Each structure stands twice: as C-alpha cells, then as structure tokens.
Structure 1
Amino acid sequence: MRRQLTCVAALAISLGASPTSADPFSDLAALPTFYTDAAMKTMKPMARFKKAWFAMPKHDRVTMTKACNDPAMSKPHAAFCADVLALGGAN
C-alpha cells in the first residue's frame, strides 16, 4: 500500500509541475504578429518583423532568442528563428 501511495504521489507531482523546457513558441500570444496569415505559414517582411519584434516585452524576446539558439526548439520554427537570429537576437 505504501508503495502504491508513493507512486501515486510521484505521478501527481510530475503532472502538476510545469516543465522548464516548455515550448515558448506556444506560450506567447504575440507570435501571430510575425506572420501574414492566420495559419502562421508566411513570415512578414523583415522590416515588419523587426517592428513586431521590438514591440514584444524584453522578457519574451530573451525567451525566444534562447529557444532559437536551441537546435531542437528552433527546428520546427526555422523561418521565425532565422529572422530572430538575423536580428542578432537583439534585445
């Protein structure tokens, strides 16, 4: 019984804890401002991208820059990260 209780407690803790490696691309409501379409397939031109980038709070820009520097995170968002890194990750 004690073993079952320990397993249930460990499962509850693991499900309740937010992972530190959460995808920051899904957490930001501002992400659609970088795309021209609702499906988020076509990036805005660099001038408009840059304007949207600097309109974001600094904390969000830092988070996105870190994510774009991680190959595993940036691969699904290659076009977005290419523009972020082209800006030099400017904060």
Structure 2
Amino acid sequence: MKRTLIAAAFCAAFAGSAFAQQTDGGSGASPDYFSDPAMVGTFYTDDTMATLRPVEEMRAAYDALGEDERAALQQQCEQEANRGTDATALCSEVTTYQ
C-alpha cells in the first residue's frame, strides 16, 4: 500500500509539471497567439486570416504595432514550436524585420 501511494504521488507530481509545460510552451504567451485577430489580423486580407497582405502592407502593419507587440511577435515566430503551422508564412516575412 505504501508503494502504491508513493507511486501515485510521483505520477501526480510529474503530471502537473507536464501540464504546465503544455499550456504555455515556456514562453508565457498564449498558444493561440497567431489566431488572435487583434494581434495579427492586420497582416491578412480578411477576417478568415487565410491570405497574407502584400509585403509592403505587411511591413506597414508591423511598423504600426507597439514595441512590445513587435517583440512578442518576433519571439513567437522564433520559437521552433511555431514552425510548420499556419503562421509559417507570416513568420517567414516578419522575421526579416529586424
């Protein structure tokens, strides 16, 4: 019985830390960051956020963001977890704005 309780406590401890890692990916930002129209909607042609604007308009949208928002966007794009997602095309362009 004692072994069972120790094993259960051990599993609970690791399950909690694994859950914490999955919720924010260690970045402190929302996993739905790139689907947030308030943050990246201006980079797209419509509300469905399926088609990116032309490069010149994307640069203007990026420049219109506040410094903190630009830094957050750059950080999210640099995270490997975002590669291969719908944000890849957006990030490919945004990461050139340094």
TM range (shorter): 0.5 to 0.7
Task: Give the deviation of 1:82 after TM superposition.
Answer: 0.6
Deviates more, 1:19-28 or 1:61-70: 19-28
Unpaired segments ≥5 residues, structure 1 = 1-6
- Match of 1:67, SS state, is helix
2:64 paired residue among 55, 58, 62 = 55
* RMSD between superposed Cα atoms in Å: 2.5
Q: Structure 1 residue 44 and structure 2 residue 53: aligned?
A: yes
Deviates more, 1:18-27 or 1:48-57: 18-27
1:78 paired residue among 65, 78, 88 = 88
TM-score computed with the length of structure 1 as normaliser: 0.67
- The share of aligned pairs that are identical, in percent, is 27
- The 1:22/1:43 distance shift into structure 2, 3 A limit, reads same
Contact 1:65-1:84 at 8 Å conserved across structures:
yes
Aligned partner of 1:4 in structure 2 is: none
Task: Give the deviation of 1:25 after TM superposition.
Answer: 2.6
Q: Higher relative contact order by CA 8 Å / sep ≥ 6: 1 or 2?
A: 1
Task: Give the deviation of 1:38 after TM superposition.
Answer: 1.6
1:22 paired residue among 20, 24, 30 = 30
Query: How many aligned residue pairs are there?
Result: 76
Amino acid of the residue matched to residue 78 of structure 1? Answer: T
- Match of 2:71, SS state, is helix
Separation in structure 1 between the aligned mates of residue 61 and residue 73 of structure 2, nearest angstrom: 13
Q: Which of structures 1 and 2 has the bigger CA Rg?
A: 2
TM-score computed with the length of structure 2 as normaliser: 0.63
